Amino acid sequence: MAACGLPKTSSRYPKTDKSIEALKAENERLKKWISDLQSGMYINCVYCGHRYGPKSETPVSMADISKEHIEKCPEHPMSHLKAEYDRLRKAFYGN
């Protein structure tokens, strides 16, 4: 009987380790994002942290670069809307 609710066997531990590894990777990604912000040298996507820059090497047209990323960003709501629009357009018009 598992008095405290913990699993009796170690069968669940690999899953837990995988979750911890995923969280460590996410923590590292967020640390890099914070570092970018604190350096003042980069501009980052507010949804996923994608780095543009450094500012000195980025073309003047930041709006165009930003639009390119937003259309592909896995986190940005606009990319989700564009994917849905593309799917519906294809279903309706066939292309």
The one among 33, 41, 45, 53 contacting Zn ion by CB under 5 A = 45
How many angstroms separate the Cα of 81 from the Cα of each of 30, 66, 86, 88? 25, 16, 9, 10
Rule CB under 5 A: say whether 33 interacts with Zn ion.
Answer: no
Residues 6+ positions from 36 with CB-CB distance below 8 Å: 42, 44, 49, 51
Contact pattern from residue 1 through residue 30 relative to Zn ion, giving x for each residue in contact according to CB under 5 A and a dash for the rest: ------------------------------
47 binds Zn ion (CB under 5 A): yes
Q: Using CB under 5 A, which residues numbered 56 to 75 contact Zn ion?
A: 73
* Best CA proximity match to 50, nearest among 13, 80, 76: 76
- Residues making contact with Zn ion (CB under 5 A): 45, 47-48, 50, 73
